[in-house]
Structure 1
Amino acid sequence: MALVESARSATQRARATTVLLGPAFVAAIAYVDPGNVASNISAGAQFGYLLVWVIVMANVMAGLVQFLSAKLGLVTGLSLPEAVREKATRPVRLAYWGQAETVAMATDLAEVVGGAIALNLLFGLPLLVGGVITGAVSMALLLVQDRRGQRPFERVITGLLAIVAIGFLASVVISPPSVADTVGGLLPRFQGAESVLLAAAMIGATVMPHAVYLHSGLARDRHGHPQPGPPRVRLLRMTKVDVGLAMILAGTVNLAMLLMAANTLRGREVTTIEDAHAAVGDALGPVAALLLAIGLLASGLASTSVGAYAGAMIMQGLLRKRIPLLWRRLVTLFPAIVILAAGIDPTRALIVSQVALSFGIPFALIPLVRFTSDRTLMGDDTNHRVTTMLAWLVAAIISMLNIALIYLTVTGS
Structure 2
Amino acid sequence: MANVVAMFVQYLSAKTGLATGQDLPTLCRRHLPRPVAGFLWVQAELVVMATDLAEFVGAAIALNLLFGVPLFPAGLATAVISFAILALQRLGYRPFELATTFLLGVIGFGFLYQIFAVGGPSVSGVGSGLAPRLAGTESLTLAVGIIGATVMPHVIYLHSAVTAQRKRPVDDFAKRAALRGLRIDCFAGLGLAGLINLTMICIAAVLFHGVGGGFDGSLQGAHESLGRLVGGAAALAFAVALLASGLSSSGVGTFAGQVVMQGFIRRRIPLFLRRGLTMAPALVILGTGLSPDNALVVSQVVLSFGIPFALFPLVLFTRRRDLMGDLANRPLTTWTGVAVCLVLSGLNLYLLSQLLFG
TM-score past 0.5 threshold: yes
Contact 1:196 1:404 in 2 (8 A): no
Contact 1:103 1:209 in 2 (8 A): yes
**Letter aligned with residue 268 of structure 2:** R
Contact 1:178 1:263 in 2 (8 A): no
Alignment of 1:178-189 (within 5 A): 178-189=122-133
Alignment partner of 1:394 is 2:340? yes
Alignment of 1:260-409 (within 5 A): 260-266=203-209, 267-409=213-355
Aligned pair partner of 2:137 in 159, 176, 193: 193
2:121 aligns with 177
Report the Cα distance in structure 2 between the residues aligned to 1:380 and 1:309, rounded to whole angstroms.
29
Aligned pair partner of 1:207 in 148, 151, 166: 151
RMSD after superposition: 1.2
Q: Structure 1 residue 170: deviation in Å? A: 1.2
Contact 1:128 1:341 in 2 (8 A): yes
Report the Cα distance in structure 2 between the residues aligned to 1:224 and 1:97, rounded to whole angstroms.
27
SS at match of 1:252: helix
Relative to the length of structure 2, the TM-score reads 0.96
**CA displacement 1:310-356 (0-9 Å, x = unmatched):** 10111011111111122111111111111111110000100011011
1:136 aligns with 80
Alignment partner of 1:88 is 2:32? yes
Alignment of 1:2-13 (within 5 A): none
Report the Cα distance in structure 2 between the residues aligned to 1:228 and 1:66, rounded to whole angstroms.
23
1:125 aligns with 69
**Letter aligned with residue 326 of structure 1:** F
Report the Cα distance in structure 1 between the residues aligned to 2:32 and 2:75, rounded to whole angstroms.
37
Q: Structure 1 residue 394: deviation in Å? A: 1.4
Contact 2:207 2:215 in 1 (8 A): no
**Letter aligned with residue 270 of structure 2:** P
Contact 2:16 2:24 in 1 (8 A): yes
Report the Cα distance in structure 1 between the residues aligned to 2:169 and 2:345, rounded to whole angstroms.
35
SS at match of 1:296: helix
SS at match of 1:379: helix
Count of residues in correspondence between the two structures: 354
**Letter aligned with residue 303 of structure 2:** L
1:32 aligns with none
Report the Cα distance in structure 1 between the residues aligned to 2:266 and 2:194, rounded to whole angstroms.
34
Structure 2: where are the runs of 5+ without partners?
Answer: none
Deviates further, 361-370 or 381-390: 381-390
Report the Cα distance in structure 1 between the residues aligned to 2:151 and 2:215, rounded to whole angstroms.
29
2:46 aligns with 102
Aligned pair partner of 1:230 in 173, 178, 182: 173
1:254 aligns with 197
Alignment partner of 1:78 is 2:22? yes
SS at match of 1:188: coil
**Letter aligned with residue 41 of structure 2:** W
Contact 1:265 1:276 in 2 (8 A): no
**Letter aligned with residue 148 of structure 2:** G
Relative to the length of structure 1, the TM-score reads 0.84
